[in-house]
Chain A
Amino acid sequence: MAAALLDPARPGPDDLRFSVHRNNVVAGLINALAETFPAVHALVGDEFFRAAGAVFVRAHPPVSPVLIHWGGAFPDWIAAFPPAAGVPYLGDVARLEWARTEAYNAADMPSLAARALAAVAPERLPRTRLTLHPAVRLVASRFPVASLWADVTGRHQGSRPILSRAETALITRGENTVSVRAIPPASAAFLRSLMAGQPLEAAAGAGMNEPDFDLTAEISALFQAGLVAGITADNGSGSWAASSM
């Protein structure tokens, strides 16, 4: 019976009503996918989404009953799904939506105030590392991914995004909601470097490879937005860490 649930070609037990379960399983999982990827759903339409979803569900069925953790394989899968090739930004919009789901369920951690960084001796700042909040995500795209997402989910009214413009989306979590906004290339390079565990000096170097980088403004904005959850300052013989935990 289990084998027949995901495979319409395989006969189920000899009761016609078995199909209720087969329908429940596939339709239920497609519904769960549509809840996680509403912008992809809107971009391709319900008929296409359900047909693609049925193929995905059979290729990548959930391995755990915790469905909020299921769907991470969908962005790469839909990006490589030949019938969807006409919408080249679909995979990146899906990546943004998966990042939103991860951000929504990420661990709670208190934010640090900017004065925590003021406690670090200036000569140690270059080798100091900032740990960003667990809910922070970046999604880089050669398409205007944040604008496309805002447009298709009705959060942005106005002219359609210009497809030739690349964007990096910064995903953050507030008290009850997850926010998405496009950030300049310099901010994106700086944040990406910090999230990779690089110290401030190296992260600033990455930012300066892009136009209009202002290190003080970047750091100040991070603290103001509550995105810094930890500071690790190198003290020569080891390190000390600050967090409000």
Chain B
Amino acid sequence: MITRHPDRELRLMTTHEPPSLQQRALPPRAGISFKPCHWPDINAGNPDVGFFEVHAENYMGAGGPPHRMLEGLRARAPLSLHGVGLSIGSEGRLDPDHLARLRHLIDRYQPASFSEHLAWSSHGGIYFNDLLPLPYNAQTLARVADHVDETQTALGRPLLLENPSAYVAFVDATMDEIGFLTEIARRTGCGLLLDVNNVYVSAVNQGFDAAAYLDAFPLHLVGQIHLAGHAGEVDADGRRLLIDAHDRAVDAAVHALFARVIARGGAKPTLIEWDNNVPAFDVLLAEMQAAEAILRSALAISDVAAE
């Protein structure tokens, strides 16, 4: 059990590495999730990218080309390290070996940001390679807060916790997602990663209003935004079912919600995720530029307001 200190945010800041090594915060621009098949385009073309994000687990090998590419990315733009395997929502303990691997990567590459998911992916010694949901109640709140606290202590820095996409509803849920995330952030000092596509997918699947959810989201806690494409199906009951597939361009409805978020909360670092059916690099770059145009319109509005 980790004891929480009232000065925890201060303590986390003072345990940071020296500023010369530590990358500064992600810029309020659009970035891309890096795929090795795009390395030749990036290496030769030096595209103007706000930041690069990588999945931490893909860089946990001892050496080789993955690490050379990561060094090359980091030299070009700020780096966001995104974990997909820590299983913060697990019933059991966090894997100390995995925390050590994350710490090693963070010490080596000093990314501007580290984020993980409000989900579980391991149970009983098996890794399921999926982000699985948990019910929101007092018991899970205490457990997730402990796990976030333990992670931040082990990594020596705050993390951003990402809202999940949901397909199932739990009968033992007593809190809503925003209340749950806000309370985790209050207890642990972590920030939030707002995945707008996840909100839209969950809203369609569970029948709530995505715009109302986003209007209630605590944007002052948001350190990064994720955008991605989703797949649409119809389930056995004939209801519309969206899958968080990350296999296509961002949907127009998600772009509109993103613009709504930016208009209220200002420009935030925004990532395009495209993990399956990965397109040619220029297609991905065009997606990033579309998001960047929305961010720039918000910056222009705030410039006018400041004058």
Contact = CB atoms under 8 A, between A and B. Distances in A.
B65 A65 contact: no
Interface stretch (A23-31, A122-130, A216-224): A23-31
A106 interface: yes
A176 interface: yes
Contacts of B61: 66, 68-69, 104-106
Interface string A1-43: 1100110000001011110110011001100100000000000
Given A2-B124, A28-B129, A29-B129, A65 B66 contact: no
B6 interface: no
Interface in B29-69: 39, 57-58, 60-68
Interface residues of B, number: 41
B86 interface: yes
B283 to A, nearest CB: 21
Given A105-B64, A106-B64, A173-B64, A28 B130 contact: yes
A206 to B, nearest CB: 28
A17 B86 contact: no
B92 to A, nearest CB: 10
Contacts of A177: 65
Interface string A104-147: 11111100000000000000000000000011000000000000
A88 interface: no
A68 B58 contact: yes
B60 A21 contact: no
Interface stretch (A56-64, A160-168, A236-244): A56-64
B168 interface: yes
Contacts of B130: 5, 21, 24-25, 28
A103 B87 CA distance: 28
B126 A62 contact: yes
Contact of B122 (A20, A24, A65): A65
Contact of A106 (B62, B84, B126, B128): B62
Contacts of A68: 57-58, 60-61
Given A6-B126, A15-B168, A25-B130, A65 B57 contact: yes
A108 B168 contact: no
A104 B127 contact: no
Contacts of B129: 24-25, 28-29, 32, 62, 65, 67
A65 B241 contact: no
A105 B70 CA distance: 13
B63 A61 contact: no
Contact of A18 (B98, B127, B167): B167
12 contacts: A5-B128, A17-B167, A17-B235, A18-B167, A28-B129, A65-B98, A65-B121, A67-B129, A68-B61, A103-B64, A134-B63, A176-B65
Given A32-B129, A62-B127, A105-B64, 8 more contacts: A16-B236, A18-B168, A61-B127, A66-B61, A68-B57, A69-B60, A106-B61, A176-B39
Interface of B: 39, 57-58, 60-68, 84-87, 95, 97-98, 101, 121-130, 132, 167-170, 205, 235-237, 241, 243
List of 8 A-B pairs having minimum Cβ-Cβ separation, nearest first: A65-B85, A105-B61, A108-B63, A2-B123, A107-B62, A17-B167, A62-B127, A15-B168
